Amino acid sequence: MSEAPLPPLTIVEIQRRVGAELDRIGSVIDELGARFAEAGEELALVGGPVRDAMIGRLQNDLDFTTSARPDTTERLLAGWADAVWDMGRAFGTIGCRKGPWQVEITTYRSESYDPTSRKPDVDFGDSLAGDLGRRDFTVNAMAVRVPSRDFVDLYGGIVDLAERVLRTPGTPEDSFSDDPLRMMRAARFAAQLGFSVAPDVVAAMTAMAGRIEIISAERVRDELVKLICAPHPRLGLKLLVDTGLAAYVLPELPALALERDEHHRHKDVYEHTLTVLEQSIDLEHRLGGGPDFVSRFAALMHDVGKPKTRRFESGGIVTFHHHDVVGAKLTRKRMQALRFANADIDAVATLVELHLRFHGYGSGEWTDSAVRRYVRDAGD
């Protein structure tokens, strides 16, 4: 997996892509836009789909923002969508499906957080500008009004997207005070998009890392899973470690970096771990399907038992006896703290506990029955 920065995109190329993608979803945005306009409401495609259309990776999820309150949205979708559901009316979000499209429509928000509380206070807003201003990154704060297809970019998101950089619309300090989860999201989007993070954003993440503690474990977990399942997890993980965020959300990882010993008697366990993660990703296609969280997270955690079990023996020998068992225990504890489902915890911890069984496999020392035993013990 190459770490060389991708060349900047040209604005002309970005505009061409958006035009082509909007044409592709033309019937949805024209019909839905007309329905809202007739009711005197504003509607705009916003956030992820606008960003992804520019990168050329727009999928079937279409997020909209609107002046309409949820009850009105629901009424306007009835008779048009194939199915409508409540995704969180209190937060303003109504979902629907129309053919292959998954649509989420959220009322304009001006959301603020009480920094001492875990609960977001939601205030519905009145303007698209206000709604865009409270979004996390400039590349996520662009909108296309429908049905007019007017492009709205108040914070220079298109330039940042061309340069592949994550920047906050306002100061990163204000943004992260409002919602510290955005620090995790910076790392997640770096991993998903292969973007860099602006230096002032990295500085704020570093200074404010401890604020992540007010965020619920579930929200942190969801961002971590997306980061690990992304195309460039190394970028996101490095950012978490370098800013100090990992010390709060996944302390076992920076602990591996402390294992570097000055005489280089054994490999840098942290670097080795990131390499194993990437090797695991390279083999993933054999499992069929897409990114596999269990195997990726097991690769990341496989050596976390090493710091606790390291012993210096005579003759300059370093040992890590039982680091597999200790690592499986630490993995369980961490995944429980992050509120993972028991099935995921069991699957990852089992792989961590069994990882030493692979010794000798590469040199052909495994017998058929050893392979069968491994498959039985490791499960799916």
Binding site for Mg ion (CB under 5 A): 48
The answer to whether the beta carbons of residues 253 and 274 sit under 8 Å apart is no
Identify the three-state secondary structure at position 268: coil
The first and second tokens of residue 77, run together, are 């979708």
Interacting span for ligand ATP (CB under 6 A) from 16-24, 160-168, 177-185, 277-285:
177-185
- d(CA 338, CA 352) in angstroms, rounded, equals 17
The answer to whether the beta carbons of residues 217 and 335 sit under 8 Å apart is no
- Binders in 180-209 for ligand ATP, by CB under 6 A: 181-182
Identify the three-state secondary structure at position 215: coil
List, in order, residues 6 or more apart from 220 with CB less than 8 Å away: 181, 184, 212, 249, 338
Residue nearer to ligand ATP on the CB measure, 182 or 302: 182
Residue nearer to ligand ATP on the CB measure, 131 or 292: 131
Q: Which of 74, 131, 136, 160 binds ligand ATP (CB under 6 A)?
A: 136
> Is omega for the bond preceding 120 within 30 degrees of 0, making it cis?
no
Residue nearer to Mg ion on the CB measure, 48 or 133: 48
User: Tokens 């206000």 — which residue?
Assistant: 130
The first and second tokens of residue 239, run together, are 């950012």
Residue nearer to ligand ATP on the CB measure, 183 or 299: 183
Residue 353's binding partner among ligand ATP, Mg ion, none (Cβ under 5 to 8 angstroms by kind) is: none
Q: Is 21 in the site for ligand ATP (CB under 6 A)?
A: no
For ligand ATP, what does the binding mask look like between residues 281 and 310, x meaning CB under 6 A? ------------------------------
Residue 179's binding partner among ligand ATP, Mg ion, none (Cβ under 5 to 8 angstroms by kind) is: ligand ATP
For ligand ATP, what does the binding mask look like between residues 137 and 166, x meaning CB under 6 A? ---xx-------------------------
Q: Is 63 in the site for ligand ATP (CB under 6 A)?
A: yes
Residue type, 196: S
Q: Is 179 in the site for ligand ATP (CB under 6 A)?
A: yes
- d(CA 227, CA 192) in angstroms, rounded, equals 7
Residue nearer to ligand ATP on the CB measure, 181 or 204: 181
Distances (CA, A) of 88 to 32, 46, 66, 296: 20, 18, 15, 31
Q: Is 223 in the site for ligand ATP (CB under 6 A)?
A: no
Q: Which of 17, 98, 109, 135 binds ligand ATP (CB under 6 A)?
A: 135
Number of residues in the chain: 380
User: Tokens 């000798």 — which residue?
Assistant: 360
Residue 131's binding partner among Mg ion, ligand ATP, none (Cβ under 5 to 8 angstroms by kind) is: none
Min dist CB 226 to ligand ATP, Å, is 6
Residue 182's binding partner among Mg ion, ligand ATP, none (Cβ under 5 to 8 angstroms by kind) is: ligand ATP
Tell me which residue has its CB nearest to ligand ATP: 48
Residue 194's binding partner among ligand ATP, Mg ion, none (Cβ under 5 to 8 angstroms by kind) is: none
Interacting span for ligand ATP (CB under 6 A) from 68-76, 82-90, 132-140, 342-350:
132-140
Please choose, from the candidates 32, 150, 19, 37, the residue with its C-alpha nearest in 3D space to the C-alpha of residue 99: 32
> Is omega for the bond preceding 147 within 30 degrees of 0, making it cis?
yes
Residue type, 130: G
Identify the three-state secondary structure at position 87: strand
User: Tokens 């840098």 — which residue?
Assistant: 268
Identify the three-state secondary structure at position 124: strand
Q: Which parts of this chain interact with ligand ATP (CB under 6 A)?
A: 47-48, 63, 135-136, 140-141, 179, 181-182
